[in-house]
Amino acid sequence: MKKKYVYELLLKVRDYECDLQGVVNNSNYQRYMEHTRHEFLESLGENFGRMHDKGVDAFVSRVDIQFETSLRSGDSFLSCLNVSKVGPKLVFDQDIYRVGDQVLAARGQVEIVVVENGKLTREEYFDEVLKKLE
Amino acid sequence: MKKKYVYELLLKVRDYECDLQGVVNNSNYQRYMEHTRHEFLESLGENFGRMHDKGVDAFVSRVDIQFETSLRSGDSFLSCLNVSKVGPKLVFDQDIYRVGDQVLAARGQVEIVVVENGKLTREEYFDEVLKKLE
Amino acid sequence: MKKKYVYELLLKVRDYECDLQGVVNNSNYQRYMEHTRHEFLESLGENFGRMHDKGVDAFVSRVDIQFETSLRSGDSFLSCLNVSKVGPKLVFDQDIYRVGDQVLAARGQVEIVVVENGKLTREEYFDEVLKKLE
Amino acid sequence: MKKKYVYELLLKVRDYECDLQGVVNNSNYQRYMEHTRHEFLESLGENFGRMHDKGVDAFVSRVDIQFETSLRSGDSFLSCLNVSKVGPKLVFDQDIYRVGDQVLAARGQVEIVVVENGKLTREEYFDEVLKKLE
């Protein structure tokens, strides 16, 4: 049932990410999604830390995550994304699937704005980067 | 501009919560909101860990957070919530304000389902707890 | 059995800090200790983020923590510290006690070096700050 | 200069692990080391979460970490370990090297005790597991 994505990253649950309920704490899915976006960026030749040093910062303006099936100790998962431009924003659709049975663990939509030397840009910075996707 | 809330918790940024952009990493707002819900629960005489030991678990089914103003090292903030029942779900409206100028840092809506001994309940467990709010 | 300390900070366990064993994950004691040092610094009129902006960074060179009693959901604790200069290093003795029965949860020794604009200092920066302790 | 280890795990810095100093926050090395021990355990056919469900818990009794070179955004690293029995404890020697130049980032010694159904064991549980190393 997995869709097609422009980028997929294989990760594994780390036990310190599980909480007293014995499942991955919800806040970590947001972290998984951040790491996936940054690895996607690296796959396009850019690095988040270097961008910051150049005065370009991508900020999350909204995150909307639906939690479907809890990941647990020992689980591997595939963290997938698609990206589109909606006005001045980059919108990432990010789904996380448990490896093995491909059950959907979480689906998220994350909106990003880009700030260059302190002022909002219209994402021209990423136009250049995303061109490599075409 | 702050609204009225049934529960407010005063917290302070911890520096390890800030990332290389020099601001609180987004995933931590979700953690602040979780901690606020659990402290709210304690204010009503219940504890999340004890609930788990009794076989009652509250799971987050959806989180929708809009990030308005970044918190930074040294900032204190007020983490506020209201709660309502929508069908079988508890819906928490959670706003975070920077202390000093009361600027809104983040606003979130968090949906909770309650599972008792492995099966979804219609929140009867919380009816009892929330009655104390009236 | 609690010793005398130059600084004490009252904190409470956050449930996302507990892991699947139902107790606070060990790495969080290191975070508690960091936050305590930084709050101690603020009590002396300095802020870690502002220091970084001025080109002064305190780096941890060594951390040695003994874990005595696990903290759990609902526990409050007192995070205490003493500090001394040992050669070019600041050495913090940091003990964490559970509130209520004053049981020792963890004791740590943390060594700090200070780097000013990229080069190691002999802590002159902190001499000024620590003078306020006398 | 890298020594020989019984287990090595390749990992990459995640940007949310970096703090406002632009380097990996110290507490995360402790997390890297925990994850490495648990992956080592999996390589021997055991899982930390499953152990807990069986009533066997490994607790860290002491951690001693020396920080040598800060890891940064974009860095990959090799997290390595050796293990020995010292009396009733398991002692892990854990070194972390930056990939590329093999610079030592951190070296740690982590002591573990094993508790079976609430009482300290003499590690018989791990004797069985570690036998596979020979």
ipTM: 0.94
Which positions in chain B touch D27 (Cβ < 8 Å)? Answer: 16
Q: How confident is the model at residue B1 (pLDDT cuts 50, 70, 90)?
A: low
Q: How far apart are CA D91 and CA C35, in angstroms?
A: 28
Nearest to B62 by CA among A128, D87, A30, C117: A30
Residue A5 confidence (pLDDT) = 96
Which positions in chain C touch B34 (Cβ < 8 Å)? Answer: 14-16
Q: Is the pLDDT of residue C119 over 90?
A: no
Name the residue among B16, B20, B73 with its Cβ closest to that of D15.
Answer: B20
- Return the higher-pLDDT residue of B80 and C127: B80
**CA torsion sign, C7 to C13 to C19 to C22?**
positive
Residue A122 confidence (pLDDT) = 67
Question: A with C: how many residue pairs have Cβ under 8 Å apart?
Answer: 22
DSSP code of residue A39: H
User: Which of A13, A17, A19, A70 has the most C C-beta neighbours within 10 Å, making it the best mutation to test the interface with C?
Assistant: A19
User: Which of C11, C12, C16, C34 has the most B C-beta neighbours within 10 Å, making it the best mutation to test the interface with B?
Assistant: C16
The single-letter code of the amino acid at B29 is Y
Which residues of chain B approach chain D closer than 8 Å at the C-beta? Answer: 15-16, 18-20, 22, 25, 27, 73
Name the residue among D12, D38, D74 with its Cβ closest to that of A49.
Answer: D74
Structure tokens at A3: 């869709």
Q: Tell me if A26 and B49 make a contact (CB, 8 A cut-off).
A: no
Chains touching C (at least 3 CB pairs under 8 A) are: A, B, D
Q: How confident is the model at residue C117 (pLDDT cuts 50, 70, 90)?
A: confident
For B31, nearest residue in chain C (alpha carbons): C16
Q: Is the pLDDT of residue B3 over 90?
A: no
Which residues of chain C approach chain A closer than 8 Å at the C-beta? Answer: 15-16, 18-20, 22, 25, 27, 73
Choosing from A15, A19, A64, A95, which is the catalytic residue?
A: A19
For D14, nearest residue in chain A (alpha carbons): A35
Q: Tell me if A18 and C22 make a contact (CB, 8 A cut-off).
A: no
Average pLDDT, chain C: 92
Q: Tell me if B49 and C16 make a contact (CB, 8 A cut-off).
A: no
Which positions in chain C touch B22 (Cβ < 8 Å)? Answer: 49, 52
Is A19 a known active-site residue? yes
Residue B88 confidence (pLDDT) = 84
Q: Mean pLDDT across the stretch C91-113? A: 97
Q: Tell me if A31 and D16 make a contact (CB, 8 A cut-off).
A: yes
Residue ranges in chain A whose pLDDT is less than 70: 1, 122-123
Closest approach of chain C CAs to the CA of A26, in angstroms? 9
User: Which of A13, A15, A20 has the most C C-beta neighbours within 10 Å, making it the best mutation to test the interface with C?
Assistant: A20
DSSP code of residue B19: -
Q: Mean pLDDT across the stretch B9-33? A: 97
Choosing from C15, C19, C53, C75, which is the catalytic residue?
A: C19
Q: Is the pLDDT of residue C90 over 70?
A: yes
The percentage of chain C sitting over the pLDDT mark of 90, rounded to a whole number, equals: 76
Q: Is the pLDDT of residue D134 over 80?
A: no
Q: Tell me if B14 and C22 make a contact (CB, 8 A cut-off).
A: no
Name the residue among D21, D49, D60 with its Cβ closest to that of C67.
Answer: D60
Which residues of chain C approach chain B closer than 8 Å at the C-beta? Answer: 12, 14-16, 18, 22, 31, 34-35, 38-39, 42, 47-50, 52, 72-74
C34-67 pLDDT, tens digit each: 999 999 999 999 999 999 999 999 999 999 999 9
Q: Tell me if B16 and D27 make a contact (CB, 8 A cut-off).
A: yes
For residue B97, the Cα-to-chain-centroid distance in whole angstroms is 13
The percentage of chain D sitting over the pLDDT mark of 70, rounded to a whole number, equals: 98
The CA angle B27-B114-B132, to the nearest 5 degrees, is 95
Residue D1 confidence (pLDDT) = 62
Name the residue among D20, D63, D67 with its Cβ closest to that of C52.
Answer: D20
pTM: 0.95
The percentage of chain B sitting over the pLDDT mark of 90, rounded to a whole number, equals: 77
The single-letter code of the amino acid at D73 is S
Q: How confident is the model at residue C1 (pLDDT cuts 50, 70, 90)?
A: low
Q: How far apart are CA B28 and CA B15, in angstroms?
A: 11
Q: Tell me if C48 and B73 make a contact (CB, 8 A cut-off).
A: yes
Which positions in chain C touch B12 (Cβ < 8 Å)? Answer: 39
Q: Tell me if D47 and A73 make a contact (CB, 8 A cut-off).
A: yes
Q: How far apart are CA B59 and CA B121, in angstroms?
A: 11
DSSP code per residue over chain C: -----SEEEEEE--GGGB-TTSSB-THHHHHHHHHHHHHHHHHTT--HHHHHHTTEEEEEEEEEEEE-S---TT-EEEEEEEEEEETTEEEEEEEEEETTT--EEEEEEEEEEEEETTEE--SHHHHHHHGGG-
B38-74 pLDDT, tens digit each: 999 999 999 999 999 999 999 999 999 999 999 999 9
Which positions in chain C touch B49 (Cβ < 8 Å)? Answer: 15, 18, 22, 72-74
D61-98 pLDDT, tens digit each: 999 999 999 999 999 999 999 999 998 899 999 999 99
Residue A97 confidence (pLDDT) = 98
Structure tokens at B111: 């949906």
